[in-house]
Structure formats: structure tokens, C-alpha cells
């Protein structure tokens, strides 16, 4: 290894600002061309510094996954935030407090919850009705217009709630394994949102967002008004696996010191395990892929696989390269959102640390 | 739910001090009866407050999994610490600094690494030779006495390194699914350590530790001198699954607000996902089991399963109980070490927060 990256002593999440800015620029451009409001999901990077890179591209509306994250970004000057998580009644006081200062949108899929919220808030709160377009996680099913309209009516009747439109995360695109398959699944989800929108007698907001879908589609139709993907900012091996990006689109790698090697097999043990990566796996059961560092960043060829992890150990099988104790290997993460969450800070190629939302939980 | 635990607003790791102290007391007593030095692994709880509960039982030697964790506990008055992780050469300056103040032991399984360490340290450093007794992770294989003795000789020749003995984590007991199977596997690992010890011409330190093995065995033989299990402090559903503890031995639960329910199925969505639990699964693919809170803690019967998680969402199937948005469910974690790491703090049943080693990475 020519550059031994001597300032890296422990597992360190390295970020390539140029790639990340390129990923942001591409998605901003796509949303603008399609005429959609871009509300990127900040749950992937969770960093005020990276938020500024979005601001540089003209982004003003954002999406987050928790109340604490909304508070963090609100304190950094973001004043139009969607909390894309089913409203947690136990935090309604904090949501109401935020709504007293900035434009806050929440997600609701239950009449019971909407009724309770309407009694508890004292400030204008925008409410998206969450729609399940196939991910089978949360949201009212797209083919249940009666339930959707009942919830809509409840929101309209309420003093402080304002109907923001409908929202769907088509998370089931993560099960696809080709661009064509993603395209089909995403278009089907959009068709389902169009079905729902058609039930309303007026033009409504329709927010759609998932990285595979937003990466492969260019035409989102006329009904969709907002896009809110998140993972695209970094991408990761899962997105490569799905087929929607290339390894050279990945914006972060976890740099791990090699601590010991097996003498008989091309296997080395890294300082880097479940507490650094989390435990997401590709279909081949690996927890990440290996890249080599170079003096200016990392190489884009995959030269090994992170085959096994425990709490702090990672075992890597190398392919055509060698590494010994004291070296550092770059691991392309399977799921960059979770790895960023575990690491909670970033090191730029210039040696500057960027902060990450410190968990308010 | 009689007590609505109104102070729990977000995912919160609840700890039952009584159970945890009972788990500690049992293992301390077992080690004392067997005449072994007890060096509990603190990587599970990583908390100075919980460390005090060990101190109350007379514990003075501890084990940790990183240099940062050693520094954290050293600053809390622990002065005999084993860093049970293959020595990371990139942190040797920090290890040497620690060794200037307290009694530090490290693990080495490579002659190359031992040679480099010996050139870099200026203070007495105790070195365990790590032995692989079947876990196939790190360590020199037990049936390779030549390599073991070469490494031993290197340590003995070095000015500052002091041979501490041999160390093995029999992590492969985690693959067992009954007490009998654990007993067999653990005894086999101990036999292998005895084989290694027999090669030395003197009595040596032999440290053995894994929660399944240390829980089921009472007789560790004459050769083992030290025991270093860690997970037993909390136990978890994995240990129940392996068959070595009962649900009522588990010392921590992750309390998660219910945010929405499906109307057709007994499925509720929790605020609680991969960023709170990590992603460890039982053989049935579940990410945790459900218990109900009661006014004084939680019930010991399992009433549901955490079937699916994403970044912050958890989907639970309930069995014979109901829960609605605004309630809180207690989730028995699959792997308490990782869940504690994700949460990074504890709430006692009395409402006091206990701190967790703040990641120095």
C-alpha cells in the first residue's frame, strides 16, 4: 500500500465529497427536469455538513425519519421538514413545538392516531396520508379508498391539521435484482398512487421516494409532485446488487485496520465488525466488499469479500491482493444508512471530520 | 396496559438491576467455587455504572474488546484490563500509554505482530497468545504447538513483553442448541487448551470464556486459571435459544412505542428498528421477542415476535395480546451486546439513566 493512511487508527468512515456531490447533483437535476419538488431523505447521511451540499444545489425541503433528527436539522436552518415515520404519539409535544417554528409534515395511516393528534396539537401541522403501494410495511393499502377518504375527512375537519397529500415509500424495490425489475415495480407503485389520487376531486400532493425507483426512472408521470429518495447520496453494495448503480457511485467506505492474517488461506481479520457495519448482508451472505485505498481515495475494483463478522471482528477473503497486520482495507458497505448510523461521523479525503446527528434517543 | 410508562417516549433500553446483579453474583460465585480468577468481559454492558455492580462483588480484573473501552474503564479506576482483541498495531501508542499506568494484557496470534509490538512499546505489557479451539476466527490453532511455541519464545525474548498465558474464546458454542451440546463443545475446547498447556514446561495462565460454556459448566478442570465470559450479565434471546438461560434471566429489554396497527392482522408497527436493535436474528428469523410491561418491570412470558425491521420500523406479530398506537411494548433482544451498543444508555426501573462507553472510534 503506497499511502498507509497513517491517521486512520480505528474503523473510520471515509467519505468522497466529489462522488457524494455528484450523486446529489444528478438527483437534483433529475427532479428539476421532471418538474418535481425534491425532498431528499436525510436519514442516510444525518449530517448537517452534508446537508449544506444539498443546500448548495438549491434544496430547501427535506425528509427525516425521527423527531430528534427533525430537531437537529431545524436547528441548522432547515424550515420545511417531513418526518417520514408513522407519527409517534409519545412525541407529539415535541412535534407541536417544532411546528410552532417551522413547516412540519408528518405521516399518518390511522384514523385513531389522527383523532388523537388533532386533540393534542396547537400549531399548524401538515399531514401526509401514508399509502402502502406494495411494501406491506406501513400505510393504508392503495386499494382501500374508503379508509383513505375517511382519514382525509378527519384531517380536513381538524382545526390544526392540514392535508399535505399522500406519501409512499416503495421499499419493495429493494427486493428487485435488475434495473428492468425496479422499473416495473416502481411504475406499478406510481400507478397505484395515481389510482389513489384519482379518488380525490382536486389536485393533491403525491410524494414518492425510494432510491432504486428514483434512480432508474426519469418519467414519474403527472400525478407525482414530490420525490424523496435518501440512500442515493452514498449508494452502497446493496444498490449495486439491485443493479441501479456502479461501484464507482459509492460515496463512503469503512476503512478497517488489518489486525491478523491466516497463514494458509487468503483471509485476514479486520478491526471492524457488527458495531461498525451493522449486520446487513447481500444475497451471497457477505457483509461488505473490499476495495484498496490509494493515495487519493479508493479503487473501484472489488478485491475481496467480508465473509463473517462478530461484535468487533471482521473476516475478509481477499482475491488477488494481499494485506498484512497494520495495513488498512476499505470496505464498501452493504447498507450505507446503517453503517453511517453506527459510525456517527465521517472523515473526508482531506482529513476533515463531518458530524452526524447525535442520537437523541 | 396498567402503567403506561409515560416517561418512555422513544426506544429506550430498560435494565432490571436486580436481575443483572443476580446474573453477576451467580457467575462470580461459580468462578470462586471453581478457584478461577474472574475477568468478566465488559464489552456487553460497556458501562461504568454497571462496572460498579461487579466491583461490589469483589471483581478486580476485567476484559474489554477495544483500546478505547480500556481507556474508558481505566479512567474509572480499573487497573487490570485485558484487551481481548488481536492487537491493533495502529493503536500501539495508546496501548503503551495505558500500560504506563495500569496492568494491561493484550492478545497476539502472529509472530510478525509480536515482533513489531516489541519494537514499539516502552512499558511492561502482558501478552496472551490467542488459541483457536474451534471457533475458526482468530488465534493459532490448538494443534499447531510449533507456531505457539515460536510465538511464546518471541515474547519471552522481548524486553517489555511478558507472557500472560494462553487465551481462547470458544465462540462456536453459539452454534449449539442445547445445554448438552454446549457442555460437549465447551469441554472439547477446554481439552484443547489442556493439550496446548501441556507443551509448556511450567504452569501457565489459561483464560477461557464464552457465556454458553461458562453458564453450563461447573468444573473447568485444573488447567484453566481464568474465566472471562461477558454476555451473561444481561443474557438475551440467543442464549435462551441456545438453551443456557431462561427468559427470566434476561436483564434488559428495549421498550418501543407502538406507532400504528394493521386492522386485519395482529401486527403492530413499533418505533424500533435496525438502528436500535442491530440486525441479529434467531433461527426463526425473528429480531426479538415481545414481552409486556407491568408497573414494576416486564413479564416473563413471550407474547409475540419481532418479524421484520427496517432502519427505524419494527413489525411485531402479537400472540394473544393486543396493543395500539401510543402503547409501549418490551422487546427481549436477540443479542444484548449489539442492542446495548446501538442504544448507548440504560434506563433503570427507578428511572435513572446509566451511561455507556461513548464510542471513541
pLDDT, tens digit, for every residue of B116-141?
999 999 999 999 999 999 999 999 99
Say which residue the cell 464507482 belongs to: A248
Q: Which residues contact B322 (CB under 8 A, 6 or more apart)?
A: B266
Q: Please indicate whether, in this complex, the C-beta atoms of A325 and B85 are within 8 angstroms of each other.
A: no
Task: Determine what percent of chain A falls in helix, strand and coil, rounding each to the nearest 5.
Answer: 35, 25, 40
Q: Please indicate whether, in this complex, the C-beta atoms of B261 and A110 are within 8 angstroms of each other.
A: yes
Alpha-carbon dihedral A140, A146, A151, A157, rounded to 10 degrees: 170
For an interface test with B, give the residue of A11, A12, A45, A90 to mutate (most B CBs within 10 A).
A90
Is A124's Cβ below 8 Å from some Cβ in B?
no
Extract the C-alpha cell encoding A50. 452534508
Q: Which of A182, A231, A183, A239 is closest to A63 using CA atoms?
A: A231
Do residues A279 and B337 lie in contact, with contact meaning Cβ atoms separated by under 8 Å?
no
Contacts B96 to A, Cβ<8 Å: none
Cα A354 off chain centre by = 18
Is A85's Cβ below 8 Å from some Cβ in B?
yes
What confidence tens digit (pLDDT) does each residue in B328-343 have? 999 999 999 999 999 9
Asked whether the predicted pLDDT for residue A268 surpasses 70, the reply is yes
Q: To which H or E segment does residue A238 belong?
A: helix A237-242
Cα distance between residue A81 and residue A74, in whole Å: 8
What SS3 class is residue A239? helix
Q: Are strands B103-108 and B80-86 parallel, antiparallel or unpaired?
A: parallel
What is the 8-class DSSP label of residue B266? S
Q: Which residues contact B343 (CB under 8 A, 6 or more apart)?
A: A361, B11, B12, B13, B254, B276, B356
Do residues A208 and A227 lie in contact, with contact meaning Cβ atoms separated by under 8 Å?
yes
Q: Which of B101, B100, B108 is closest to B165 using CA atoms?
A: B108
Do residues B137 and B171 lie in contact, with contact meaning Cβ atoms separated by under 8 Å?
yes
Question: How far off is chain B from A33, nearest CA to CA, in Å?
Answer: 30
Do residues A242 and A212 lie in contact, with contact meaning Cβ atoms separated by under 8 Å?
yes
Cα A338 off chain centre by = 9
Confidence of residue B261 (pLDDT cuts 50, 70, 90): confident
Least confident range from A132-141, A262-271, A284-293: namely A262-271
**% chain A with pLDDT above 70:** 98
What confidence tens digit (pLDDT) does each residue in B72-95 have? 999 999 999 999 999 999 999 999
Average pLDDT on A221-233 reads: 98
Q: Which residues contact B355 (CB under 8 A, 6 or more apart)?
A: B47, B48, B49, B345
Do residues A278 and A314 lie in contact, with contact meaning Cβ atoms separated by under 8 Å?
no
Nearest by CB to residue B324, choosing from A112, A338, A341, is A112
Is A97's Cβ below 8 Å from some Cβ in B?
no
Q: Please indicate whether, in this complex, the C-beta atoms of A89 and B326 are within 8 angstroms of each other.
A: yes
Is A40's Cβ below 8 Å from some Cβ in B?
no
| Minimal-distance CA residue of chain A relative to B307 | A137
Extract the C-alpha cell encoding A63. 425528509
Contacts B9 to A, Cβ<8 Å: 88, 90-91, 94
Domain ranges across chain B: 17-234, 251-355
pLDDT (0 to 100) of residue A261? 85
What confidence tens digit (pLDDT) does each residue in B239-258 have? 999 999 999 999 999 999 99
Do residues A201 and A269 lie in contact, with contact meaning Cβ atoms separated by under 8 Å?
no
pLDDT (0 to 100) of residue A2? 38
Contacts A89 to B, Cβ<8 Å: 257, 259, 325-326
Question: How far off is chain A from B326, nearest CA to CA, in Å?
Answer: 5
Cα distance between residue B95 and residue B158, in whole Å: 17
Average pLDDT on A207-221 reads: 97
Q: Please indicate whether, in this complex, the C-beta atoms of A279 and B280 are within 8 angstroms of each other.
A: yes
Average pLDDT on B301-324 reads: 96
Q: Are strands B80-86 and A288-291 parallel, antiparallel or unpaired?
A: unpaired
pLDDT (0 to 100) of residue A360? 42
pLDDT (0 to 100) of residue A174? 95
What SS3 class is residue B127? strand
Extract the C-alpha cell encoding B196. 496446548
Q: Please indicate whether, in this complex, the C-beta atoms of B275 and A341 are within 8 angstroms of each other.
A: yes
Q: Give strand pairing partners of A103.
A: A80
pLDDT (0 to 100) of residue B361? 40
Is A37's Cβ below 8 Å from some Cβ in B?
no
- Among 2.40.37.20, 3.40.640.10, 3.40.50.1000, 1.10.620.20, what is the CATH number of B251-355? 2.40.37.20
Asked whether the predicted pLDDT for residue A359 surpasses 70, the reply is no
Neighbour-count burial for A251-273, b at 16+ CB within 10 Å, e otherwise? bbbbbbbbbbbbeeeebbbbbbb
Average pLDDT on A216-235 reads: 98
pLDDT (0 to 100) of residue A361? 40
Asked whether the predicted pLDDT for residue A220 surpasses 90, the reply is yes
Cα distance between residue B25 and residue A35, in whole Å: 65
What is the 8-class DSSP label of residue B108? E
pLDDT (0 to 100) of residue A248? 98
Is A171's Cβ below 8 Å from some Cβ in B?
yes
Average pLDDT over all residues of chain A: 95
Alpha-carbon dihedral B26, B289, B238, B308, rounded to 10 degrees: -150
Q: To which H or E segment does residue A189 belong?
A: helix A179-199
Confidence of residue B2 (pLDDT cuts 50, 70, 90): very low
Do residues B55 and A292 lie in contact, with contact meaning Cβ atoms separated by under 8 Å?
no
What confidence tens digit (pLDDT) does each residue in A111-159 have? 999 999 999 999 999 999 999 999 999 999 999 999 999 999 999 999 9
Q: To which H or E segment does residue B38 belong?
A: strand B37-38
Cα distance between residue A83 and residue A320, in whole Å: 46
Cα A312 off chain centre by = 24
Average pLDDT on B17-21 reads: 98
Is B66's Cβ below 8 Å from some Cβ in A?
yes
Contacts A361 to B, Cβ<8 Å: 10-12, 276, 343
Alpha-carbon dihedral B306, A254, A57, A165, rounded to 10 degrees: 0
Q: Which residues contact A141 (CB under 8 A, 6 or more apart)?
A: A131, A132, A147
Asked whether the predicted pLDDT for residue A212 surpasses 50, the reply is yes
In CATH, the architecture of B17-234 is Alpha-Beta Barrel (3.20)
Is A88's Cβ below 8 Å from some Cβ in B?
yes
Alpha helix (H) residue ranges in chain B:
17-34, 48-55, 67-74, 92-99, 111-120, 145-157, 179-199, 211-216, 237-242, 274-277, 336-343
pLDDT (0 to 100) of residue B4? 64
What's the Cα-to-Cα distance from B209 to each of A145, B41, B71, B84, B193, rounded to whole Å?
Answer: 58, 8, 22, 11, 12
pLDDT (0 to 100) of residue A3? 53
Alpha-carbon dihedral A17, A23, A24, A27, rounded to 10 degrees: 180
Amino acid at each position: 500500500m503506497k499511502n498507509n493512511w497513517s491517521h486512520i487508527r480505528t474503523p473510520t468512515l471515509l467519505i468522497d465529497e466529489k462522488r457524494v456531490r455528484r450523486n446529489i447533483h444528478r438527483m437534483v437535476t433529475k427532479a428539476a427536469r421532471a418538474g418535481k419538488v425534491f425532498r431528499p431523505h436525510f436519514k442516510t447521511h444525518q449530517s448537517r455538513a452534508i446537508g449544506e451540499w444539498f443546500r448548495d444545489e438549491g434544496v430547501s425541503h427535506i425528509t427525516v425519519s425521527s423527531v430528534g433528527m427533525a430537531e437537529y436539522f431545524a436547528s441548522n436552518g432547515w424550515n420545511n421538514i417531513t418526518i417520514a415515520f408513522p407519527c409517534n404519539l409519545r412525541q407529539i409535544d415535541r412535534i407541536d413545538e417544532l411546528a410552532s417554528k417551522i413547516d412540519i409534515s408528518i405521516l399518518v395511516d390511522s384514523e385513531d392516531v389522527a383523532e388523537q393528534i388533532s386533540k393534542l396539537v396547537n400549531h399548524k401541522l401538515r399531514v401526509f396520508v401514508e399509502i402502502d403501494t406494495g411494501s406491506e410495511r406501513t400505510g393504508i393499502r392503495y386499494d382501500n379508498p374508503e379508509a383513505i377518504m375517511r382519514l382525509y375527512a378527519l384531517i380536513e375537519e381538524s382545526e390544526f391539521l392540514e392535508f399535505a397529500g399522500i406519501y409512499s415509500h416503495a421499499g419493495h424495490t429493494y427486493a428487485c435484482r435488475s434495473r428492468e425489475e425496479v422499473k416495473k415495480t416502481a411504475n406499478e407503485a406510481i400507478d397505484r398512487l395515481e389510482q389513489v389520487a384519482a379518488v380525490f376531486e382536486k389536485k393533491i400532493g403525491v410524494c414518492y421516494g425510494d432510491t432504486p425507483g428514483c434512480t432508474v426512472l426519469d418519467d414519474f408521470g403527472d400525478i407525482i409532485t414530490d420525490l424523496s429518495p435518501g440512500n442515493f447520496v452514498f449508494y452502497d453494495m446493496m444498490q449495486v446488487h439491485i443493479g441501479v448503480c456502479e461501484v464507482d457511485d459509492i460515496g463512503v467506505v469503512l476503512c478497517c485496520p488489518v489486525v491478523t492474517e491466516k497463514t494458509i488461506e487468503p483471509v485476514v481479520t479486520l478491526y471492524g465488525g457488527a458495531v461498525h457495519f451493522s449486520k446487513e448482508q447481500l444475497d451471497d451472505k457477505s457483509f461488505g466488499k473490499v476495495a484498496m485505498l490509494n493515495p487519493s481515495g479508493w479503487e473501484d475494483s472489488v478485491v475481496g469479500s467480508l465473509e463473517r463478522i462478530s461484535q468487533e471482528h471482521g473476516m475478509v477473503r481477499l482475491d488477488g491482493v494481499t494485506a498484512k497486520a497494520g495495513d488498512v482495507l476499505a470496505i464498501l458497505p452493504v447498507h450505507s444508512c446503517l453503517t453511517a448510523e453506527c459510525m456517527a461521523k465521517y472523515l473526508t479525503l482531506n482529513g476533515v471530520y463531518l458530524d452526524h446527528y447525535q442520537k437523541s434517543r
